[in-house]
Structure 1
Amino acid sequence: MTAQPIPAITLPPIRDPQQEGEWLQVALQNWLNREFIPEQVNEIISQRAARIFVRQRLEGENDLGSLVIAIVTEMQAFDFTESFFSEFAVANAVSDLIIHSLGIDRCCGQS
């Protein structure tokens, strides 16, 4: 059996940046709070990740993989010492939240 590459996930163009950013910020903060314990830093992390995501989308980036890499890259400047998370965990969580919102099965990439 030959391994097949996972197809890229392309998001539709952004229609309402404020709504998309607010949704992602709330969804990510809820996820961060559920994973370990609710912390004030989770709000800051989720706001920053949502800003990066929306800015990239406004610049025309719609490839989910590229958006995740942008979040990892830009979140490297964030001080995670007060958090249980890292830039990789945050970017992966964003990816999972987006994939789930699109109705895609995270396990196998199928709808």
Structure 2
Amino acid sequence: MPEPIPPIVLPPLRDPDREGHWLRDALHTWLDREFLPEAVNGDIADRASKIFVRQRLEGENDLGALVVAIVTEMQGFDFSRSFYGEFAIANAVSDLVLDSLGIDRCCGE
């Protein structure tokens, strides 16, 4: 039987403003690059980064739990002016964080 993938636990949050700005900017860039630059992309990136940082401030460091929190809370966001939805945003955040930590996200490695 295959071994379960161990959780990815982020280091403790040291500078919430810096982490929030980084994530907002990185996600906004990713959103604009993936399809078309849209005004709503800034709103999406801002909302997702706020959720992420708030969860981290509350002590959540497990990346899987952070992704679930983003999916759950972004369900209340109006995506009608966007190509994206809450799952795409949460997955993009996860990918950006993994990339920033130098963790290869291919093939469960």
Question: Shorter chain as normaliser: what TM range?
Answer: over 0.9
Tell me which amino acid in the other structure corresponds to 1:77. G
Which residue number corresponds to residue 37 of structure 2?
A: 38
Q: Please identify which structure carries the higher helix content.
A: 2
Provide the rounded CA distance (Å) in 2 between the counterparts of 1:106 and 1:15: 24
Provide the rounded CA distance (Å) in 2 between the counterparts of 1:27 and 1:72: 18
Which residue number corresponds to residue 78 of structure 1?
A: 77
Which residue number corresponds to residue 8 of structure 2?
A: 9
Provide the rounded CA distance (Å) in 2 between the counterparts of 1:47 and 1:33: 14
TM-score, normalization by structure 2: 0.97
Provide the rounded CA distance (Å) in 1 between the counterparts of 2:20 and 2:75: 20
Give the deviation of 1:15 after TM superposition: 0.2
Tell me which amino acid in the other structure corresponds to 1:60. G
Give the deviation of 1:109 after TM superposition: 4.0
Report Cα offsets for 1:8-61 as digits up to 9, x if no partner: 000011000000000000000000001000000000000000000000000000
Tell me which amino acid in the other structure corresponds to 1:7. P
The structure 1 segments of at least 4 consecutive aligned residues displaced by more than 6 Å after TM superposition are none
Report Cα offsets for 1:51-89 as digits up to 9, x if no partner: 000000000000000000000000000010000000000
Provide the rounded CA distance (Å) in 2 between the counterparts of 1:101 and 1:4: 25
Which ranges in structure 1 are unaligned for 5 or more consecutive residues? Answer: none
TM-score, normalization by structure 1: 0.96
How many residues are matched?
A: 109
Which ranges in structure 2 are unaligned for 5 or more consecutive residues? Answer: none
What is the 5 A alignment of 1:81-92? Answer: 81-92=80-91
Q: Percent identity?
A: 69
